Every structure is written in structure tokens, then in C-alpha cells.
Chain A
Amino acid sequence: MIIGNMRIELEPRLSTPKWLYFAVQALSLLFAFVVGGVFLALTGHSPIGTLWLLIERGYASTKGITNTLGSATPLICTGLAAAFAFRMNLFNIGQEGQMYLGMIGSAWAGIVLAGALPGFAAVPVVLLFGALSGALWVLLPAVLRAKLGTSEIVSSLLLNYVALNLVNYFIFGSRGIFRDPSTSFPQGRLIEESARLGSFGTTRTYPTVFIAIALAVGLYWFMKRSNYGYETSVFADSPNTARYAGMSSTKLTLSVLLFSGALAGLAGSMYVVGPAGKVDPGLLQIGLGYAGIVVAALARYNFVAVILTAILFAGLREGGASLQISSNPVPISIAVVLQGSVLLFALGGEVFRRNRLRIRRVQQVSVAS
């Protein structure tokens, strides 16, 4: 591009300095706050005051940060689910639905199985059933993709709407096992006490946060060290190379998508064993599955970085929620606006990480008169 006598060029970088990763992310966040601020100002809120309050209530108080860690817990799982699949260029965007199924599956285990299990096994079994249900929900898109090459993007997304209606059916439409029989008010039946985890003291942080963090670190380590991790990264870079080397694309595709579904299902389970204790339509409102995609993209599909971006996002959410309670309430959707903007800016910023911006003065060559 040439402006005046300046020529602006992008030169590919051979290596990216470490600080640039953080700089781009930090700038994206800053720009997102500017966008959020503009819309706040347009709707008659003080931009700086509101955003400051959001940060304070999301991160900078004991209550805020523990609430944030609590809601970051399932978000780490959906973030890992997205990162795990996206790294292999498999765009499973059905985490939302897989998470709902995880909630249903683990509530079923918590109601039916947990009573017959020894106390120590109840929680793990409930979590396992959630993961399995999540994997089951991605089975169809995974098989279609692996066997017929059907794009998993739209198929996994469409199933979100099916799962949404399924949860509504279990709570509002039927009087089945998931519904609390003791009241005519439509709400979920509580799972066995032995299958639930208490929170730490008076906070809203649950022990599941350690499972989520351990999963992230474990995955990071496993995918770096194991043969499987190596195969997936070869496949991601070049499916043809992987095929010539004798790796089975069907197996890799299936396993990656199913495991991604299981991670998303686990997010639903953590909601059940922790705060909800039942199939709860509250999960349908918060969009943890969609947010997981943003969290993963912002972490550049690095599993350990997912922990940080999930906490960042959960804080926006918690801070956003607290803004609703004030004399001039701000809709909680400001959090989603911020999340979307961060991702848009981070995507745009990617180009500066991969390329160097060169501005050169060009000599005006005048044709001999």
C-alpha cells in the first residue's frame, strides 16, 4: 500500500519475540474496552466509571475473584474443548450443546447411580458420565467429518439448538426423572448429596477448579510429549504428510472431536456437581460454550494459556453481572460485547505478530520530461 511518498509493507517475521504475544493480547483488551466504552457512553453510562467498576467487582475483591474462579471453572473446560479441536483445524463449535448433554448425563448418574455407589466414587462417576454424554453428542458430526468429510462446523452447531430444546423438554415438557417431583414448579431434581461438592467456605469457588487446571496442564504436557500429540500436530500442519506417514486421519479426526466433546461435557458436569446440583436451565443463559471458543482463540489454542484467558473472561462476566445491580443498571450483555471485541482485535493483531510492519520512503520517480 502506498500513501503519499510512504510505502507500507508487511514483511513476514522469521521469529516472534515473546513480549509481542502479550503486547498484542493486552492491546486487544484495551481496544475492546474502548469499544465497550463507546457503547456505554452512547447508552448514557459513564464509560470509565462503569468499566472500572467492572474490573473492581470482577477481579479486585475477595468476593469478586472467588466468584470469578468459580465461573471460570467450567469455562476452562469449554475453552480446552475448543482449543483441542481447533488446533487440529477441526472446528467443533457445538460445545454449548455438548455441555448441556454433559449436564443431563451427569444429573442422570447423580440421581440414578450415585446412591448405590460408595461415597468416594460418586463424584468421579458423575463427572465421567457427563464427559461421555458430551462425547456422544459430538459423535454424529465427528463420524460425518471422519468418514464423509462433511464440514463439522454447521453440523455441530445445529445440534446446539437440539440440545437446548432437549433440556427444556426435560425441565418444562416432561415429568420424567430429571424433574423435581415434589413441586409443580418446573425445576430439576437434586442429585444425591454424595455426588455433590461443597464450595470453599462462603465463596462460590468449587474444588472442581483444581480438576480444570490439572486438565489444562496435563493436556499441555501430554500433547507436547506423547506420540499422539505429535501425530495431531503433523496432521494439523499437513494432512497429506500425515497420511503418507501412515497416520490414520479417520482415527485422529474421530478421537480429537470426541475428546473435545468430552471436555465440553465435563463443563456441564462441573456445573451439576458444583453450584447447580441438578439439570438447571440457568446454564442455558450464560453461553459458556460459545465463550469457550473465544477463550481458546485468545489463548491461541495453548492449553495453559486457556486457564488465564478463562479467568479473564469469567471476570468480565462476573463484573458485568454485578453492574446490573445499581441505580443505572448496565445490561450484562456488555460482557459479551467486550468478549466479542477482544477476539476481533486479537484476530486483527495476529497479522502484526506474524509480520513486521515496514514503512519506507519511496523516491518519486519522475519520468524524464
Chain B
Amino acid sequence: MNSNVWILTFSDAISIATTLILATLGAILTERSGVINLGVEGILLMGAVTAFLVSDGTGNLWLALFLSVLVGVAMATIHATLTITLRANQIVAGLALVIFGNGLSQFIGKPVEGKTRPVTIEPMNLGALSDIPVLGPILFGHDIFTYLTWAGALVCSLYLNRTRPGLVLRATGDAPATVDAQGVSVAMVRFVHTILGGALMGLAGGWFMLARGTAWSQAATTNGIGWIALSLVVFAAWRPLRAIAGAVLFGFTLQVPFTLQGQQINILPPEIVQMLPYVATLFVLVMLSTPRARRLLGAPKMLGQPFVRDER
């Protein structure tokens, strides 16, 4: 088999990982505050369709991505209002967001269904770096968002572990009553981070459309990437830097079916190979469920629990 193909596969895996990292970072920020937002898939779809429609209408890549972020913010605001202010069940609210985003992206995307992507996020030209054999194309052939995303994971990690607001955020997820006793509004911390998380998820969807998608087709766009990102949060043990490694791994399982198909390697029927990313994710979840692994993970203790101050 051609070694170039595998270089390309690794390169694509790292590229796809950009969306996964962005969505996972968004989910980590959200969940660290104690809110679980299952609506990732719906937000990704809305971000993607927004990026497509806006760039199709204006040809402006940056405006398209900016509006994807805004749509992510809007969707997350719905979730935050329902779960934090109105104390609705977080699981059901997240699912409602998926169904809503699923329907709405299909509805507003209908007129452009099948149309080719209007603009493309071009890879950066890193000169000599890209010419390094093997590593060059794998690591240095990406667009600016891939690198910004890595930096973003680092920033998130520093924010969580080295700053005071980060400390407050972690405390909000673990012991909201203590945070409240300190005079900090639990609802505010949760609101801000749920919305920040939504912004990252919206960007993840927009970037995915304009960098990886080819034509708008709602059914084929995200294909469960949002759910994979939610599994990645567990895999990364709610730590931003670990999300990068996990995302590349999961990106690889997402890319391999296409490589095998392109290479006409038919060890298994394509439909069976298509199951790979989901089965791999499931496998990882199972591995992480052993009592030993669980002790090492450390999920936010009050994840999914609404905080009511005067409830006795």
C-alpha cells in the first residue's frame, strides 16, 4: 500500500480533530461548571448550516464563521435559560436542542441542499516546515484554525488550572454551595461558561462545514460528531490538553473508513467499516468504566445537578 495514503489519512485525522477539539473544549467548559449540555450535535448542525448559508450569500468567510459562533451562543443561551434559570432537566433540554437544531438546520438548509461549498478555509503556507518528509504534511499542512485550536486548548488548560476565575469555575462544578457562600453567583458562572461553550461548539460546526465539508447535506454533515465529542470529554477526563490527543485518535477512526474506501481495500463491506468510529468510541467508554479508570477520571461532582440556594 502507498505510504502517502497513510500520511494523508493522518493529516486528515488531525484536521478533523479540530472540530472535535473545539466541540470538546466547549463541552468541558460547560460541564466543569456543573451543566451538562447534550445539545452539541444540534449546535454543530446549526453552526454548519449558518456558515454555509452566510458564505453562500456573502462570500465572506469571516462573517460566516462569526455568525456560526453567534448561533452557537444563541443555542447555548436557550439551554442555559431552561436549565439554570428555569431548572429544567438538563438531559431532556439538551436532547430537545438536538432535535430542534436537527429540524431547523434541515429546514433553512433545504434551498441549498446539495450545493457545493461556496468558500474554503485554505491551509496555511508554512514554507520549509511543510517540506519535512512525513511530519511536514501531517503536522504542518493545516489551516490557521487547527493551530489556533491547539493554542485554545492550552489557554483553556491554563485558565482552568492557573487562574482565579478558573478555580471558581472548577469549584462551581464540584461544590456550588461553597462558591455561593463565597458570594459568587453560581448561576452567573454557569451561564457564562455554558454560553462560552456554545460559542466554541458553533465555531466547531462552522469550521467543519467550510474546511471539511464539500456540499451542504444535512444528513451527511456532522454524522454524530457531537456525540463523539461528548464521549471525548469523558476520555479527556475533563482536561483540555488531553482532549487534543483523544480528538486525533477519534479523528483517525473517523477518517479510516474513507481511506479504505478510496483505496478500494475491501476487507470489510463499507457499511461495516462506517461503524468504526462509533464502535471505537463505545469501546473506549467501556474501558473507561472500570472502577480503576473511574477513580482516575474525576468528573465534576455536581454535574447535571441544578443549584438552588434555599432548598433544604
Say whether A and B bind each other: yes
Using CB atoms and an 8 Å cutoff, list the residues of chain A in contact with chain B: 39, 42-43, 86, 91, 93, 140, 144, 148-150, 153-155, 157-159, 161-162, 165-166, 168-169, 172-174, 287, 290-291, 293-294, 297, 331, 333-341, 343-344, 347-348, 350-351
Shortest beta-carbon distance, B196 to chain A, in Å? Answer: 21
Shortest beta-carbon distance, B247 to chain A, in Å? Answer: 16
Contact B271 A340 (CB under 8 A): no
Contact A158 B96 (CB under 8 A): no
* Across the A-B interface, the 3 shortest Cβ-Cβ residue pairs: A336-B103, A340-B100, A333-B106
Contact B89 A290 (CB under 8 A): no
For B83, the closest partner residue in chain A by CB is A347
Contact B106 A331 (CB under 8 A): yes
Among B78, B231, B269, the residue within 8 A (CB) of A158 is B231
Contact A336 B95 (CB under 8 A): no
Q: How far is it, in angstroms, between the C-alpha of A155 and the C-alpha of B101 when the chains are bound?
A: 21
Given known pairs A154-B231, A158-B227, A344-B96, the reply for A149 and B106 (CB within 8 Å) is: no
- Cβ contacts A to B, 23 pairs, < 8 Å: A39-B107, A42-B108, A43-B111, A144-B285, A148-B291, A154-B281, A155-B286, A158-B278, A162-B279, A173-B271, A174-B269, A294-B95, A331-B107, A334-B103, A336-B106, A339-B99, A340-B96, A340-B97, A340-B102, A344-B78, A344-B93, A347-B92, A351-B88
Contact B272 A169 (CB under 8 A): yes
Given known pairs A162-B275, A165-B271, A340-B101, the reply for A39 and B108 (CB within 8 Å) is: yes
B57-94 interface bits toward A, Cβ cutoff 8 Å, 1 = contact, 0 = none: 00000000000000000000010011000111101110
The tally of residues in B whose CB lies under 8 Å from a CB in A reads: 50
Shortest beta-carbon distance, B46 to chain A, in Å? Answer: 11
> Which residues in A have their C-beta under 8 angstroms from that of B91?
91, 153
Contact A344 B227 (CB under 8 A): no
Contact A348 B104 (CB under 8 A): no
Contact B104 A350 (CB under 8 A): no
Contact B96 A294 (CB under 8 A): yes
> Which residues in B have their C-beta under 8 angstroms from that of A165?
271-272, 274-275
Q: Is B185's CB within 8 Å of the partner chain A? A: no
Contact B81 A348 (CB under 8 A): yes
Shortest beta-carbon distance, A174 to chain B, in Å? Answer: 7
Contact B99 A336 (CB under 8 A): yes
Contact B102 A154 (CB under 8 A): no
Which residue, B104, B282, B291, has most C-beta atoms of chain A within 10 A?
B282
Given known pairs A336-B106, A340-B101, A351-B88, the reply for A153 and B282 (CB within 8 Å) is: no
Q: Is B3's CB within 8 Å of the partner chain A? A: no
Contact B89 A347 (CB under 8 A): yes
Shortest beta-carbon distance, B174 to chain A, in Å? Answer: 18
> Which residues in A have their C-beta under 8 angstroms from that of B111?
43
For A339, the closest partner residue in chain B by CB is B99
